[in-house]
A = this chain, B = another copy of it.
Amino acid sequence: MTTPASRSSPVAPGGTIGILGGGQLGRMLALAAARLGLKAHIFSDDAEAPAFQVCAARTHGDYRDASALAVFAATCDAITYEFENVPAETVAQLAPLKPCHPNARALAIAQDRFDEKSFLRSLGIGTAEFAAVSSPADAKAALARTGAPAILKTRRLGYDGKGQAKVANEGQLTAAFASFKSAPSILESLVDFRFEASVIAARAADGQFAAYDPPENLHEHHILRRSTVPSRLSEAQVREARDIARRIADALDYVGVFAVELFATRDGALLVNEIAPRVHNSGHWTLEACAISQFEQHIRAVAAWPLGDPVRHSDAVMENIIGKEAADWQALAAHPGALHLYGKPEIRPGRKMGHITTLSPKSQR
């Protein structure tokens, strides 16, 4: 059996990085790999995956198709994922064949909101109050833990606000749980935050760690609207945020870029909302405001190259282009910022179609 090679030798130029997932994150990862003279092989279950337009090799297949995965792995020197909900059996098949990052444990923890918050608490990292809801009988004790109102979320597979409901009492909680078809869920206390922020950081296999300046994030309808650097975090909070990220990465023996979503509360605390074991929408501004973007940083980590300098040379505001906002592309083309469109064949409500980053000279903060 091949050694999993979590401490593997660097992938030489001309080598191939396999990427599971072909959305905009996979696309921007493929573009970053190309900068470094590396080829990207995209594996996606979507025949029209945007990343297929920019890669050296492509496989259209199911993420559970063992024979397609084996052929894919044979062409790759290292493998990564653009999304966290990779089936566990997919990782279990690929990991013995080629270096795969992030590792199975990091993915498993990020896939389950309860395990994720339990993991964070085990590291002494602050989160909202939370309790598992596995049956209607858990409702009362869970509400006693979180207070009301609170948010019920499915433990798995939620994103952009899907599988979430605000509940004010036991009746609403059991109704929401029923509406989730009794899927294992987590009840979380409402955090009265001043603003949201995130840390985008990278860890290499040898423990090297690099964090970008944390952006401040604004969500609308549970979808990221805008990220701004610098944020309103104090210098001490920036240090604290980076320290949180570092402790998470070290505990998971993490390799690659990841994001830690944070609430900055009114009393100055930082609470972790969730971990994204991948490049992150709130880090897209690094494409213009840093010489080494989050996408290149992730490729560097996965390819076992030294991490790049995450220094930021400019202030930046990144604004998402969502759904039908993309229809007016001629206005977007005339926008003075740096435009990115993701090559998605169809506009759908809530779909992330692109983003625009506007730079300004670096403030002294």
B residues near A329, Cβ cutoff 8 Å: 12-13, 37
Known A-B contacts A54-B56, A329-B12; the reply to A37 vs B342 at CB < 8 A is yes
A241–B361 Cα distance when bound, in Å, is 26
Q: How large is the interface on A (under 10, 10 to 19, 20 to 34, 35 or more residues)?
A: 35 or more
In residues 48-100 of chain A, which contact B (Cβ within 8 Å)? 52-56
Q: Which of B14, B31, B55, B313 contacts A343 (CB 8 A)?
A: B14
Contact flags A321-334 to B (C-beta < 8 A → 1, else 0): 00000100110011
Q: Determine if B54 and A343 form an interchain contact, defined as CB atoms under 8 angstroms apart.
A: no
Known A-B contacts A13-B343, A333-B10, A341-B13; the reply to A313 vs B361 at CB < 8 A is yes
Q: Does A336 contact B (CB under 8 A)?
A: yes
- Name which residue of chain B comes closest to A329, CB basis: B13
Q: Determine if A53 and B34 form an interchain contact, defined as CB atoms under 8 angstroms apart.
A: yes
Q: Determine if A53 and B36 form an interchain contact, defined as CB atoms under 8 angstroms apart.
A: no
A199–B265 Cα distance when bound, in Å, is 51
In residues 6-56 of chain A, which contact B (Cβ within 8 Å)? 10, 12-14, 27, 30-31, 34-39, 52-56
A204–B155 Cα distance when bound, in Å, is 53
* Identical chains in the assembly: 2
Q: Does A354 contact B (CB under 8 A)?
A: yes
The distance from the CB of A156 to the nearest CB of chain B, in whole angstroms, is 32
A336–B311 Cα distance when bound, in Å, is 11
B residues near A34, Cβ cutoff 8 Å: 27, 31, 53-54, 343
Q: Which residues of A contact B (CB under 8 A)?
A: 10, 12-14, 27, 30-31, 34-39, 52-56, 288, 291-292, 300, 305-306, 308-309, 313-314, 326, 329-330, 333-334, 336-343, 345, 354, 357, 359, 361
Query: What are 27 A-B contacts defined by CB distance under 8 Å?
Result: A10-B330, A10-B333, A12-B329, A13-B329, A13-B341, A14-B343, A14-B345, A27-B34, A34-B343, A35-B339, A36-B333, A37-B329, A37-B343, A37-B354, A39-B53, A39-B343, A53-B55, A53-B56, A54-B54, A54-B56, A288-B291, A291-B337, A291-B357, A305-B333, A309-B336, A313-B313, A313-B359
